[in-house]
């Protein structure tokens, strides 16, 4: 039978130090191997959720790239029209 005896004052005199509870490396890590404790159906469901999220994310990225490409094309066309209009509207004097 173990009695719950309160600890006395620390020998070092450092009363603010808390007693150690054990090595943290020996404590059970909940996140590392948690996927092994799931059932096969749960793993498949999680995988499907992740797959659909990645598909959605890739769709958003493709849409953003497409908009940027369209904007680039519009800008290039605008610059071409601007240069063409400047040439049309420029007046020059013929030297004979």
Phi-psi region of 63 (alpha: psi -120 to 50; beta: other; left: phi over 0): alpha
What per-residue confidence (pLDDT) applies to 81?
96
Q: What is the pLDDT of residues 34-80, one digit of tens each?
A: 666 778 898 899 999 999 999 999 999 999 999 999 999 999 999 99
What per-residue confidence (pLDDT) applies to 56?
97
Rounded mean pLDDT of 80-88? 92
Q: Average pLDDT, whole number, for the chain? A: 84
The secondary structure of the chain, three-state, reads: CCCCCCCCCCCCCCCCCCCCCCCHHHCCCCCCCHHHHCCHHHHHHHHHHHHHHHHHHHHHHHHHHHHHHHHHHHHHHHHHHHHHHHHHHCCCCCCC
How long is the chain?
96
Instruction: Residue 7: name the closest of 16, 17, 19, 23 by CA.
Output: 19
Q: What is the pLDDT of residues 14-32, one digit of tens each?
A: 888 887 777 776 666 666 6
Decide: 68 and 60 in contact? Cβ < 8 Å: no
What per-residue confidence (pLDDT) applies to 27?
62
């Amino acid at each position: 039978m173990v009695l719950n005896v309160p600890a006395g004052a620390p020998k070092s005199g450092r009363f603010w130090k808390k007693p150690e509870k054990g090595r943290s490396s020996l404590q059970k890590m909940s996140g590392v191997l948690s996927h092994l404790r799931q059932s096969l159906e749960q793993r498949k469901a999680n995988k499907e959720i992740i797959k659909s999220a990645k598909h959605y994310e890739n769709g958003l990225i493709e849409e953003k790239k497409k908009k940027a490409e369209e904007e680039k094309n519009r800008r290039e066309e605008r610059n071409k029209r601007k240069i063409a209009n400047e040439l049309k509207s420029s007046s020059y004097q013929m030297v004979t």
